[in-house]
Structure 1
């Protein structure tokens, strides 16, 4: 009996003679794994942040220090007046104004057009619905670079070269498909009974869309808005082709003026780039919660 008891205690899980498991080697279950995941996440974040760190440090160097070889990690001379010079430059303020006008105008136009288009395609089975959605998707396959000559010719015939409207229309056209598709998915996921209940309470179709459907699709709407804004904010090729006057150029095109064949203001270029990133970072910080919800929608039923 004693031998049997001893054998049982040896083989029983968790008994005095049980073989050492993973918890015995690693202490608290999952503790080491969490530490390694945190270290790996911090290292990956540092890799992505490295270009921005270098950009900030270079904005605090003198222009000659930026070109010095071999380069140093920290500035040899800290120059804090570069940001004041950039913000006091009327050219930079004009470029910033142009970027804001184009980005906000394109985003507003995309939202206004994408909401009814996505709502109708998700709720009504009209003839040609599939072809329309396919056509919308096909527009995403064309890069603005491949169409820039045709766009210039078209806007030249319409006398719209060197105008804000040309860039607003172009950016809105190239970002409309993404907004329609993501909002189409959100509208389709909402049960029809929700709209029927609103109709029984006396709400019209427009009131149902504004008071019921849009609040439910807020994550998708925010996602479409931020992606459209960033795409318009970063656009370069079309703006370089269509904008002629220096004071009407957006930031992406205006930055070229800091470094030319005759003068190189590397410190001002990096300082202006840091300032240009700030509005996007603030926008991300404000709507991060809704943005994550929109990107992960549909992953959990």
Structure 2
């Protein structure tokens, strides 16, 4: 009898255990369904927000394949009644606007301006982050204050200065302008990354016989590389999109960047909107390619310090 009672108790315990495990499984399944539903809603919300921000670019892309008369038609058409890819060929062959030269000018000015900022900002950020010297905070504050000055305010004065020294209407003038007005941002970005590298790492490298330059190149730079990439990307995009100073300083059509060239298609009484849209798309594509190539580094740089 005792053996029978013991077996029945064991059976009851086993049955309760099975029921409990079944309940836990159902709970986990319901929890997984809830989390899956939330993820689906978040993805849907993200897609709606992305579509909202991408809508102007879609309008430009579609408009670049429309005829001029169709763009002005009321009510407007969402898709072209006739796709006109020849708009892009006509756009490049416009005699008043040498877009091939304008694209080359934009690339050279942006690349050289970014290189100038990198060469000057990196040692400045490294030294201010790793050394304490009289006037250090005042220097950093001065660098920050210069960020408040915009080329629009100083364009006329800069043109007079460049005219006096004989470099007006040249790429060199715009490279110097872009370098000067983007330097402070790059210094602050890289300063924060250099300051985040423990001093003990540099000291350990120097104890092993490395010079300061070797320590910077082989030890510090690999650690702060995401921050450097972040500064490069933001500087390059700022140089690429610069308009006001280029409009004043560069007067020759071949030397002007795309941001100025696009205004040639906008007239007082009529505007070639199909060309405006086409040039806008051409100006966007290189930046998109650049972002796609360095997206991981850029995200790492922007989120650095968020997680310890």
TM-score normalised by structure 2 residue count: 0.87
CA distance in 1, matches of 2:34, 2:44: 18
Paired residue for 1:5?
A: none
CA distance in 2, matches of 1:15, 1:111: 61
Please list, as runs of the form range in 1=range in 2, the aligned pairs for 1:27-176 lying within 5 A after superposition: 28-88=33-93, 91-176=98-183
**Where do 5+ consecutive residues of structure 1 fail to align?**
1-13
Is the contact made by 1:121 and 1:184 (CA closer than 8 Å) also made in structure 2? yes
Structural RMSD (CA): 2.2
**Where do 5+ consecutive residues of structure 2 fail to align?**
1-19
Paired residue for 1:211?
A: 218
CA displacement 1:145-183 (0-9 Å, x = unmatched):
222222222222222221111111111111111111111
CA distance in 2, matches of 1:299, 1:124: 25
Paired residue for 1:8?
A: none
CA displacement 1:233-285 (0-9 Å, x = unmatched):
00100000101111111100011112223663221221111111110000000
CA distance in 1, matches of 2:203, 2:211: 11
Paired residue for 2:206?
A: 199
- CA shift, 1:229, in A, is 0.4
Paired residue for 2:238?
A: 231
CA displacement 1:7-52 (0-9 Å, x = unmatched):
xxxxxxx8999xxx9986x872322211111110000000011011
Paired residue for 2:278?
A: 271
CA distance in 2, matches of 1:69, 1:22: 56
Where 2:259 maps in the other structure, the secondary structure is helix
Where 2:147 maps in the other structure, the secondary structure is helix
Aligned residues: 286
- CA shift, 1:88, in A, is 4.7
Deviates further, 37-46 or 66-75: 66-75
- CA shift, 1:84, in A, is 2.4
CA distance in 2, matches of 1:100, 1:15: 65
Larger radius of gyration: 2
Deviates further, 235-244 or 189-198: 189-198
Deviates further, 210-219 or 51-60: 210-219
- CA shift, 1:201, in A, is 2.4
